[in-house]
Structure formats: structure tokens, C-alpha cells
Amino acid sequence: MREFKRLVIPYIVWIALMIVIPMLLIVMYAFTKEGNDVATLSFTFDHFIKFFTDPDFLNTLFLSLKIAFITTVLCILLGYPVAYAIASAPAKRSNLYILLITLPMWINMLVRTYAWIGILADNGLVNHILSFFGLNTTQLLYTDFAVVLGMVYNFIPFMILQIHSSLAKMDKNLLDAANDLGANRIQRFLHVTLPLSIPGIISGITLVFLPSVSSFVIPKLLGGGGYMLIGNIIETQFITVGEWNFGSAISMIMALIIMFSMYLTRKIDRDHTERRMNV
């Protein structure tokens, strides 16, 4: 079997180069002053101090978390009924539905988001319809609403697919048993279906929250140049401003926050399953 073990070696070299070193470089840049020559490295906390003492940056971080939170909640609320409807459809149909859910994911995210601009613009489709019915037109593009809409549109398939797969795995006999024991439809849902689909919701949350908190494409296209989320700040630091050290510090802060929230959701998931096992 030793021959097989050796198969791992190339990949160890590869991840050291392409995953570990880049991460270490971010940490190094985050803690050093300008200039990236190893010879002239000088350690500093300045970038973190700058970030955490400035209300503008903290507000942006807070806004990013808020938008990602709203997006995630909406994805659960809208995605659950859809996943449920798919899971309760006949097998052949539900496969078709799954295909229809996945198809848009094959289309480039930028293109899908770009499509909304024409619909939401000041003289776009929605406002045309509003004014046709004699209603006041409103600004839709470049608002919180547009950004959340764009995120839900792009990320809700992940949620639907995750919840669906946990619902599809569910043993249907459990529902019959609950039925025989006198539970009505609502009770069956609350005490059998919902608890069993929690793992799907949890992995859906990670798949939706992660890209929404760090997104910079959707806020830029649908929120406009003045709509900055934490991802946009990182992007401008690296692409336009050229302050890679500060940008690395923000990237590090964001990565840590996300890893911490992932850890929390997983822990809640574990606790939840353990509690169920004990009951």
C-alpha cells in the first residue's frame, strides 16, 4: 500500500505553494509597512488600528454583515417552500425542476447580474410599468434593495439545492408513523420534516452567507460606485489605490470573521444533532 501513499506527495507540494504560501503572504502584508521587499520588512499593527478606529470602515463592515444576513434570511424563507415543493413532487418532475434550478447557475454571474440593470434602471422596465399604471416611479437601481435582490437572485439556488437534498433523503415512513400517532399536517411538518432538514439549511447558510458577505461585483453593478461593501474596499485597495498592506489586513479581518461564523454555525448544527440523539 505504500505505493499509494506516495501519490499524495505532489499535492502536498502544490498546496504548500498555491494555498499555504499565499495565505501566509496575506498575513505578512497585513502586519508590515509599505514595500514588500523581504529585506526591508518592518512589523506594524497600523493597518488594524486604522481599520478598527475608523467608524467609516466599521460601518462598512457592519453594512456588509447586515446585507449578507438579510440575503441569507430571505434565501431561507423563499428557498424552503421551493425546496419543499420540489421534494414533494413526483420523482421525474422533481428531477426536471432541479435541472431548471441549476441551469441559471451555468450562466455567468456577471451576465446574470447585468441583466437586472435594464429592469431596475430609472427609466427601466419596472418604472415603465409603474408609470403606465399612473404610479410614481421610484429609484430601484443603486439602492439596498437592488443589491439584496441581486444577491438573492445569484445565491438562492445553493439554498434550494441544499434544503432539497436533505428533504429528499428523509425517510417518508417517519411521516406515516407521525400520522398514525395522530399528528396533523402542521405538527408533522414542525416535529418531523423541519428538524430533519436543519442540516440542509445549515449548509445552505454557509453557501449563501459566504459569497454575499465578500461580494464586490453585485454591489458595484447594482449598488453603483458609491455603494461600498467590505469586498469593494478590498478590491479598491488592491486594484486602484495600491495599498496592498491595508488591503491584506482587511482581507484577513474578513476571513477571520467568516471562519468564526462558520465555526459557530457548524457548532450549532452539531449541538442540535447531539441533542436530538440524546432525546
Q: Which stretch binds another protein (CB under 8 A): 100-108, 162-170, 187-195, 270-278?
A: 100-108
In the list 89, 129, 190, 264, the residue contacting another protein (rule: CB under 8 A) is 89
DSSP labels for 178-247?
Answer: HHHTT--HHHHIIIIIHHHHHHHHHHHHHHHHHHHHH--HHHHHHH-TT---HHHHHHHIIIII--HHHH
Give the shortest CB-48-to-another protein separation in angstroms. 16
Return the number of the residue (201 or 220) whose C-beta is nearest another protein.
Answer: 220
User: Judged by CB under 8 A, which stretch of 41-49, 57-65, 129-137, 175-183 contacts another protein?
Assistant: 57-65
118 or 276, CB closer to another protein? Answer: 118
* Burial of 154 (C-beta count, 10 Å sphere; 0-12/13-18/19+): buried
Among 13, 41, 52, 59, binds another protein (CB under 8 A): 59
Please list every residue from 177 through 196 that binds another protein, using CB under 8 A. none
C-alpha cell at 17: 505553494
Applying CB under 8 A, which of residues 161, 205, 234, 249 lies at the interface with another protein? 234
> Are 184 and 48 contacting, i.e. CB atoms less than 8 angstroms apart?
no
Positions 107 through 146 that interact with another protein (CB under 8 A) = 107-112, 114-119, 121-125, 128, 139, 142
Question: Judged by CB under 8 A, which of 177, 259, 264, 268 binds another protein?
Answer: 259
- Nearest Cα neighbor of 247 from 18, 28, 15, 16 is 28
Is the C-alpha dihedral spanning 173, 174, 180, 186 positive or negative?
Answer: negative
